[in-house]
Amino acid sequence: MKACLECGEKILGREDKKFCSDGCRNTYNNKMNKDSTNLMRNINNKLRKNYRILSALNIEGKTKVNRNKLVAHGFDFDYCTSVYTTKTGNVYYFLYDQGYMALENEAYILVKRES
C-alpha cells in the first residue's frame, strides 16, 4: 500500500493516487511551488508589478505614455520577461504579453502582443 507524499498516511482508493486528501495535495503543491528564495520572490514581485502597471495604462492595446508616468506608478525598467528586436532595429521590452518601446523625448509606446 502506498503512503501519502505529504503526511505519510496510507492511501485508499485508486492505485495511482499520491495523496490521502485534497488538503495534503494542496499543502504539498504549495510547498513545491513556493518561491524558494527571497531573490526569486522579489524579482517575481517586480515582474508582476510591472505587468500590472503596463496593463492598467495600456487598456486600448496601443498607448503612448511619458517615462515620468511609468516611474510615478513604480515601474522598474530593469525587469522584463523578453526582448524583441524588429527587422528595422526597434527594440521592444515585454512583460509576458505587455510590451513597451522607447521613443523620442522620454516617451514610450505601450503595446499588447496578440497570442
* pLDDT tens track for 34-44: 766 778 889 99
Residue 17 covered by a domain: no
Residue 93: Cβ within 10 Å count:
19
Under the banding of pLDDT at 50, 70 and 90, the label for residue 114 is confident
Q: Can you give the pLDDT at residue 41? A: 85
Give the model confidence (pLDDT) of 58-105 as tens digits. Answer: 999 999 999 999 999 999 999 999 999 999 999 999 999 999 999 999
Give the model confidence (pLDDT) of 18-32 as tens digits. Answer: 999 999 999 998 888
Q: Give the ranges where the chain is alpha helix by DSSP (H).
A: 22-33, 38-57, 67-72
Structural domains of the chain, count: 1
Q: With beta carbons less than 8 A apart as the criterion, state whether 12 and 21 touch.
A: no
Residue 27 covered by a domain: no
Residue 20 covered by a domain: no
Residue 69 covered by a domain: yes
- Cα separation, 8 vs 32, whole angstroms: 17
Residue 9 covered by a domain: no
Residue 59 covered by a domain: yes
Containing domain of residue 50, as a range?
38-112
Residue 4 covered by a domain: no
Return the closest-CA partner of residue 50 out of 95, 8, 20, 83: 95
